[in-house]
Structure 1
Amino acid sequence: MDFIDNNFSRHSEEMIESSTKGLNLFEQTDKADYPFANIVLVHGLAEHSGRYDTITSFLQKNNFNVFRYDQRSHGKSEGKRGHLTSVNNLPDDCKIVIDMAKTQFPNLPTFLLGHSMGGHTVLKVATNYPGIVDGIVATDPLSISFTDKIDGDPEKYLPNQLGKGVNTDPRVTAKYNNDPMNLKEFTVGLMNTLMDSAADLKQDLDKVVDPILLLHGEADGLIPVSDSLEIYQKFSSKDKEIHVYPFLMHEILNEPSRKWEIYQEILNWLNKHRY
């Protein structure tokens, strides 16, 4: 295990350069006192890393260093708000944070946890950079269904209507809608880039060889559970699991009725794979 200096601040924030020169990402790190492993946490479309404080605290208290960041054009990161131009931007940015975690703690295993568009990001990391991490957890990932392009100016903005299928608890949905850091709109270009990326992923699923855990809410109003059931079958990973949760919607990590149970399932899987 790495030597740990107990004088370090357990929480830190900084701007780091993305995979595009001159464009910076907001990154925050929460270090465990006696870490067993690192985990890079990747948020979904139109949200930001601050929405993952609760699971970050849970993982940190269970001896994981948590590295999370706002994906480009989201949250406190730079870039034209809600815009995306390349299918490789998201996985390449994620790789920078992975490399950062592994540089700081080279003797610890490193994992990925991504939700929704973040789940798509970590799956793209798996296809583009196999073996770079020790395991991947993807929750309700944007994967293969959405491949039909939208006509129009790539810089035209579309309203964010994602809140309708987010959570079974209306209080969580209201908090999502009222969060000033969440994007209220995003561009046609972002959606079309994600659709291009999903089409690429659909062709590359057999390149996924890392240990992987897929989690999905059966009542997800945004990403159909059939997506995860299909992609699971196409992974080449010998070590793979899928858990489907009846009645839960898209944000299973924020579902008040079962989130602690789901956190524990994730922790159990991570602990099995950190040796």
Structure 2
Amino acid sequence: MTTHSESRLKASDGLELHVQSWRPENTTEPLRAVVAIVHGMGEHGGRYARLAAHFAAHQIATITYDLRGHGRSAGARVFINDFNEYLDDTEIFLTHVRHTFGQVPLFVLGHSMGGAIAALYTITRAPAHVRGLMLSSPALAPGEPVAPWMAKAGRWVSRWLPKVPVFKIDPAMISRDKSVVDAAKQDPLNAYRGTPARTAAELLDAMARIHANADALHLPLYIFHGTADKLTAPWASEQFHHNAGSQDKTLRLYPGHFHETLNDLDREKVIGDLTQWMLQHLPLAKTPEPAHDSV
């Protein structure tokens, strides 16, 4: 069980971001960790409530924010002019997390485009207070190859017609679990209608920046990806894992899983593996000093 709360944050340009958190109901024991989630394109932070409930059973809190233009945050739907807008928002969000949770060990979990945001943020801004980076099906390359001429044309469109939609996310590709797909289709806070050309072009550029600077990442790193993912490329996760400068890094590929391994069939194993990795990266609880009889 969890205690849920919601709040608002103001971005550097004044745009309001929706924040929500889930804490374990057990307040007699200290928090073991907090997970800050950066969600994917077209979705919103509320979709991680079930994952938060699992973490709470391990005395781990969860906090997330809706990306600008997503969910209950302000902004044109799924639109950015510059990928750095996401990085700046994430910095404000993580500063808020730090102020809220103090010295509780912090892990960052990024899914899909949120994985690209989290990866580029930790590479370029090297946050000292983050204990580990966890990437779920990160958007490090498109699921289907983009021909050079198509990428060039897309950048031209992004310059002159930045809000023209260039592709849509098919919810059927996120999971083999029909109930998950149906819920995603019916969720009014999801925005799968079409990705603006500027957002798509900025994401492609961010992917290139991440790979070019992978050796600058030194945080403990955990990447997990489904081999049947058609939205983001599993091979790119393998490449990033190989090139990352982290000495402590793990890659898990789940055979046959679709894009959202956390919501796919056999998700209990995926969530269990993720949780186990986190717990292994927490300091051991201190053993109480034995009592000494007075003489």
Provide TM-score, normalisation by structure 2. 0.85
1:274 to 263, 282, 289: 282
Q: Which residue of 1 is the match for residue 103 of structure 2?
A: 107
| Bigger Rg, which one | 2
Q: Which residue of 2 is the match for residue 35 of structure 1?
A: 31
Q: Structure 1 residue 240: deviation in Å? A: 0.2
CA–CA separation in structure 1 for the residues paired with 2:51 and 2:214: 28
CA–CA separation in structure 2 for the residues paired with 1:126 and 1:159: 28
Does the alignment pair 1:187 with 2:196?
yes
Write the letter of the residue equivalent to 1:30: W
Task: Calculate percent identity across the aligned residue pairs.
Answer: 26
CA contact (8 A) 1:164 1:221 kept: no
CA–CA separation in structure 2 for the residues paired with 1:119 and 1:104: 23
> Cα deviation per residue 1:111-166 (whole Å; 9 max; x = unaligned)?
10111011111101221222341101101000145773514211213452332421
CA–CA separation in structure 2 for the residues paired with 1:248 and 1:264: 15
Q: Which residue of 2 is the match for residue 87 of structure 1?
A: 83
Deviates more, 1:120-129 or 1:206-215: 120-129
Q: Structure 1 residue 110: deviation in Å? A: 0.6
Q: Which residue of 2 is the match for residue 247 of structure 1?
A: 256
2:7 to 14, 21, 24: 14
Q: Which residue of 2 is the match for residue 6 of structure 1?
A: none
Contiguous gaps of at least 5 residues in structure 2 = 284-295
Q: Which residue of 2 is the match for residue 232 of structure 1?
A: 241
CA–CA separation in structure 1 for the residues paired with 2:105 and 2:129: 10
CA–CA separation in structure 2 for the residues paired with 1:221 and 1:173: 15
Does the alignment pair 1:116 with 2:112?
yes
2:70 to 61, 71, 74: 74
CA–CA separation in structure 1 for the residues paired with 2:138 and 2:177: 20
Q: Which residue of 1 is the match for residue 268 of structure 2?
A: 260
Write the letter of the residue equivalent to 1:212: L
CA–CA separation in structure 1 for the residues paired with 2:92 and 2:61: 16
Does the alignment pair 1:172 with 2:164?
no
Measured on the aligned residues, the alpha-carbon RMSD in Å equals 1.7
- Residue aligned with 2:109, SS: strand
Q: Structure 1 residue 196: deviation in Å? A: 1.5
Write the letter of the residue equivalent to 1:45: M
Q: Structure 1 residue 43: deviation in Å? A: 0.9
Contiguous gaps of at least 5 residues in structure 1 = 1-8
1:45-60 alignment to 2 at 5 Å? 45-60=41-56
1:126-205 alignment to 2 at 5 Å? 126-130=122-126, 131-145=128-142, 148-149=151-152, 150=154, 151-152=156-157, 153-158=161-166, 160-183=168-191, 184-205=193-214
- Runs of 4+ off more than 3 Å: 144-147
